[in-house]
Structure 1
Amino acid sequence: MLIEFYQPMQARLTLRILVVAIAFSFSLQELLAQSEKRLFDSNEVLELDMSISLKKLRVETNDSTFMTQDISVNEEGTWETYPFEIRTRGNFRLKNCYYPPTRIRMAKDDAKGSIFQGTRKLKLVLPCAKGKNSGNYVGKEYLAYKMYELVTDYYFRTRLVKMKLTNLDDKKGEQEELLGFVIEDDDDVAQRFDAEISEKKIPPNIMEDTATVIHDFYQMMIGNTDWSGLYQHNQKVMIVGQKTIYPLAYDFDMCGLVNPPYAQVNSAVPISKVTERLYRGFCRDESLFQYVRQHFLDKESELMGLIDQYQDLYTSADLKAMKSFVSEFFVMLKSDKLFKDRIVSSCRNLDGSYSF
């Protein structure tokens, strides 16, 4: 009887120890996962160092072809060098800028245990031109991404970088220090929402109405016409739950808020410069327009405060000009007449034409 009693007790103790061990293992894994810092967990400027031939980058890469490139990263005071792949991307800036816009990616095994784990694919934005003030425009575009985070839940995460770049084509071999930022990959955004990115052209009128109108108001606020909901130009489309569709905006460099020397107005719109505003959203029920109007008015002080918060990224003249430019948008929102004339009565019809 004693033996019979002891054996079940021993089995119960063994089972209990096993359960505790499993629970401890999961808790330890969770603790380790929480302690591992990821790229977008910090707002601190990320320091990078890269030596590259810009000529080779342009000639040997394209939308589907990468080349290998080591990039050194300062992680909490320690420099680590990682093997990345890099390629050119984009159209206008690729043709017209000294520093081409790029994509970088890292193999899964190389990213393991680093801040790039889970964010192995990124867009890298650097200044367009060489010059003392070229970084100001990067700073202002970064601001546009951060302001967008204040008005919507559906956005690309970004992080500022300070890039020490040596162009191997330069005979002097001088190292330049450039302000830039990295942008989260499409698939990583979708993973955050347990969603997928659609490659199909989806009419804006069937996208989630509130998020879409918020997007359209924001594009008007920053004076951006370099986008299209109809053709998904500078806009990705994310599908959540197989039927709820959200717009994801990116590439704000051509907007009036940034106002770079190379800025051009979309040829399909009836304005002549990027610092003019035009509502490019489609017509919706006026009650929705009024809801989003109030949403932006509630965010006014935070949006204006963000311009001040990042003032080290641009000149005092830029700061003053941007505050004045954004203030004009809120003057319009606060006027019933201007709001009706500029948005409610000027929205686009389903065929893309304007109501005015």
Structure 2
Amino acid sequence: MKLLSKTLVPIVFFLFSSLGLSAQNEELEKQYVAPNLFESDTLIELSITTNLKELIKDTGKNSKYHQARLSYHQGDSIISMPVDLKTRGRYRKNKNICSFPPLRIKFNQASASYTLFHDQDKLKIVGHCRSNSPRFQQMVFQEYLIYKAYQILSPESFRVRLARVTYKDSANEMKPITEYVFFIEDFEKMAKRNGKIPIYNERIHQEHTMVFEMTRMAVFQFMVGNTDWGVPTLHNIKLIASTPTSRPVTIPYDFDWSSLVNAPYAVPNEKLDVDNIHQRLYRGYKRTPEELEFVFKEFRMKKDSIYSLYQNNDLLTEKEKKRVIDYFDEFYKIIDDPKQVQRFFIDNARQLKYK
């Protein structure tokens, strides 16, 4: 009996110790807050290894996911995880337009836990169109900053995170490619962050959305010189709402055909009365001067923050900064001049047509 007691004591002690450690680990896991990819503006340095040639060639309508490995430094450690990549988009998939297509990345939830990409599923990657091209690299920065500028105006917007990626070819047939890219927040997560739900219905008329938010968005598109969007077709527009039957809020994305990005392949829709992408066109519907002034006040209030976003950016060249600030100066002159407001936003605004 004494021998049995001596044997049981360490076993019981071990069991209680194990239970205590287990409870302690569970408590630590509860206390641990995984980093959120989009809550910082710090540049991410990472590498992605995959069969580059196969990935870049796969630009058909039914492009598939390709296995890859993403790695980055976290302190003194290297975080590495399996991911999947596929080409996306339509226009920039054309090899005559872009030698490197836009990508979508899919994460393995288990492997990504407690990493920078925790709780991410699939994300769009906006990157260079042509490798080793300073102009195309500046285009990436410009589009990234348009997203950041809209965030200054409204939290009901897509968050973005800038990264510098080194693409490595697992087949050793291509040299590594290092370029800047940015990740775009997932649509459903963006809606949830704003306490809303995603709306996927097409054919919702522009005037059946939240009026102030719609007007602000249309004025913003006018400010950055972008006409490549449409609400009823959900062309470069997403919708979120409080309930399935509430008026939705319009969320813009994909600004690469804007004047600020200044892509060489961008041309205005032939149905629009503009000669080039630098010619501004307000594509919102007619509003009263009082309604417009209510929106313009917000742009004036946020002017310094928007200008600082560009002026304090070290990645834009001085030439690009000047081009943007000059274009913004023109916008603010327009909204401060009643005659030009009448011309651009009222006389030439879209109007409802009743049969």
**Range of TM-score over shorter length:** 0.7 to 0.9
- 1:145 maps onto 2:147 in alignment: yes
Paired residue for 1:16?
none
Q: 1:124 to 1:335 in 2, by over 3 A?
A: same
Paired residue for 1:94?
93
CA drift at 1:195: 2.5
- 1:279 maps onto 2:282 in alignment: yes
Q: 2:209 aligns with which of 186, 202, 207?
A: 207
Paired residue for 2:188?
187
2: CA distance, partners of 1:169 / 1:199: 40
- TM normalised by structure 2 equals 0.85
Partners of 1:63 and 1:87 within 8 A in 2? no
Give the percent of matched residue pairs that are identical in Structure 1 and Structure 2.
26
CA drift at 1:293: 1.3
Structure 1 residues without counterparts, runs of 5 or longer: 1-23
Three-state SS of the structure 2 residue aligned to 1:321 is: helix
- 1:294 maps onto 2:314 in alignment: no
1: CA distance, partners of 2:155 / 2:42: 21
2: CA distance, partners of 1:264 / 1:169: 38
2: CA distance, partners of 1:189 / 1:126: 21
Paired residue for 1:78?
77
Paired residue for 1:160?
162
Q: 1:228 to 1:170 in 2, by over 3 A?
A: farther
Partners of 2:286 and 2:349 within 8 A in 1? yes
Q: 1:298 to 1:84 in 2, by over 3 A?
A: same
2: CA distance, partners of 1:31 / 1:232: 41
1: CA distance, partners of 2:219 / 2:29: 43
- Name whichever of 212-221 and 288-297 sits farther off: 288-297
- TM normalised by structure 1 equals 0.85
CA drift at 1:113: 1.6
2: CA distance, partners of 1:149 / 1:214: 12
- 1:112 maps onto 2:110 in alignment: no
Q: 1:26 to 1:82 in 2, by over 3 A?
A: closer
- Name whichever of 251-260 and 60-69 sits farther off: 60-69
2: CA distance, partners of 1:285 / 1:77: 59
Deviation digits for residues 227-264 of structure 1 (CA, Å, limit 9, x no counterpart): 11221101111122331311111111110011122222
CA drift at 1:324: 0.3
- 1:47 maps onto 2:48 in alignment: no
Paired residue for 1:331?
333
Q: 1:56 to 1:25 in 2, by over 3 A?
A: closer
- 1:247 maps onto 2:250 in alignment: yes
Structure 2 residues without counterparts, runs of 5 or longer: 1-23
2: CA distance, partners of 1:142 / 1:121: 19
Paired residue for 1:3?
none
Q: 1:53 to 1:264 in 2, by over 3 A?
A: farther
1: CA distance, partners of 2:328 / 2:50: 38
Paired residues in the alignment total 325
Partners of 1:63 and 1:88 within 8 A in 2? no
2: CA distance, partners of 1:164 / 1:26: 37
- Name whichever of 62-71 and 233-242 sits farther off: 62-71
Residue 310 of structure 2 aligns with an amino acid whose one-letter code is: I
Residue 346 of structure 1 aligns with an amino acid whose one-letter code is: N
CA drift at 1:167: 4.5
Q: 2:268 aligns with which of 244, 265, 269?
A: 265
Q: 1:256 aligns with which of 255, 259, 267?
A: 259
2: CA distance, partners of 1:348 / 1:295: 22
1: CA distance, partners of 2:27 / 2:214: 40
Partners of 2:195 and 2:242 within 8 A in 1? yes
Please provide the CA RMSD for this pair.
2.4
1: CA distance, partners of 2:322 / 2:332: 16
1: CA distance, partners of 2:98 / 2:172: 16
Three-state SS of the structure 2 residue aligned to 1:41 is: coil
